[in-house]
Chains A and B, each alone.
Chain A
Amino acid sequence: MKVAVGGKGGAGKTTIAGTLARVFAERGQQVVAIDDDSNPNLALTVGVDRSAAATLDGIPRDMLTERTDPDGSKHLVLAVPAEDFIDRFGVPVRDRLTLLVMGGPNHGGSG
């Protein structure tokens, strides 16, 4: 299952996303919680110290590769399987739950 939680800042989306991830994990599912907010706070609501959850800004370049779209725009994409990437860069929160924090403001400027 792939669930995304959106909404206006302050509406409570982070609390709901983090708690939902915890509940799925409690019920025996393997879960990755991904923080895509530029003001990353998901760590706290899944229950790890914010400082323990480094962002992906500093990941080794060989994990990513640049792809050029037909319209000429360039994007970074994964150069390794998603599961390997999550295992390597995710922060273990507790049994069956891993946290991945995409980045701080502007996501490292790489769109």
Chain B
Amino acid sequence: MRGVLGGLVAGASRTTVVDLEAGLEHLSRGTARYVDTLLIVGEPYFKSLETASRSFALAKELGIGQVRMIANKVRTPRDEDSVREYAARHNLPIATVVPYDEAVVAADERGMALIEHGPASPSVAAIRRLADDLVMSGGAPAGQAGR
């Protein structure tokens, strides 16, 4: 169905958010070409950051315009420092830092959408700021994927 995904991302005139297969190995050039922004989610420990770093390299090969990291499940200032330090050293721009949040766990347990279970939770607040940033830093308007 890779060709189908590419066709959907290319042809949709509305805002498109794709939850990709874990790992980027399945991402085709056909799909990558039409993505304005690829967000790579990583956690604040070394192996996860290494994986994120490899994904950045792969995304560059695929020619995706804007690739940014989301540092997720960040528990402490020390976590945040270590993510930022790693990201700076490896030249991985950080889109946002999402704090570790019990609301995510609770929403999962109840099979609920996070935004319904904890609309004012810290993680949702971070994702709202991310949405603002994405709009501001212009992902090109839908249908005009910028290159």
Interface positions of A (Cβ within 8 A of B): 1-9, 11-24, 27, 29-38, 42, 44-47, 56, 64, 67, 75-78, 81-83, 85-86, 98, 100, 102-103, 107-108, 110-111
Chain B nearest Cβ from A96, distance in angstroms: 8
Question: Interface digits, B94-138 against A, CB 8 Å rule (1 contact, 0 not)?
Answer: 000010000010011001111110000001100110110011001
CB distance B39 to A4 under 8 Å?
yes
CB-based closest 10 A-B pairs: A82-B11, A1-B139, A7-B41, A47-B113, A75-B3, A30-B14, A78-B7, A17-B19, A9-B22, A77-B3
Q: Is the CB of B4 within 8 A of A18?
A: no
B17 CB contacts on chain A under 8 angstroms: 3-5, 17, 20-21, 24, 31-34
Interface residue B91 (Cβ < 8 Å from any Cβ of A)? no
For residue B87, give the distance in angstroms from its CB to the closest CB of chain A: 14
Q: What class of interface size applies to chain B in its complex with A?
A: 35 or more
Given A1-B134, A2-B9, A107-B1, is A16 in contact with B16 using a C-beta cutoff of 8 Å? no
CA distance A108 to B127 in the complex (A): 32
Docked-complex contact A6 and B55, CB < 8 angstroms: yes
The dominant DSSP class at the B interface is mixed
B residues 1-37 touching A (CB-CB < 8 Å): 1-24, 26-27, 31, 34-37
A99 to B59: give the CA distance in the assembly, Å: 25
Q: Are A8 and B23 interface neighbours, CB within 8 A?
A: yes
Which of A14, A16, A46 has the most B CB atoms < 10 Å from its CB? Answer: A16
Chain B minimum-CB-distance residue to A25: B15
Find out whether the CB atom of A56 lies under 8 angstroms from the CB atom of B39.
no
Which residues on the A side are within 8 Å of B128 (C-beta)?
Answer: 23
Given the complex, which residues of A lie within 8 Å of B139, measured CB to CB?
A: 1-3
Residues of A within 8 A of B112 (CB): 44, 47
A16–B48 CA distance with the chains assembled, in angstroms: 16
Q: State the CA gap A24–B132 with chains docked (Å).
A: 9
Q: Is the CB of A7 within 8 A of B5?
A: no
In the docked arrangement, what's the CA distance between A39 and B57, Å?
Answer: 25
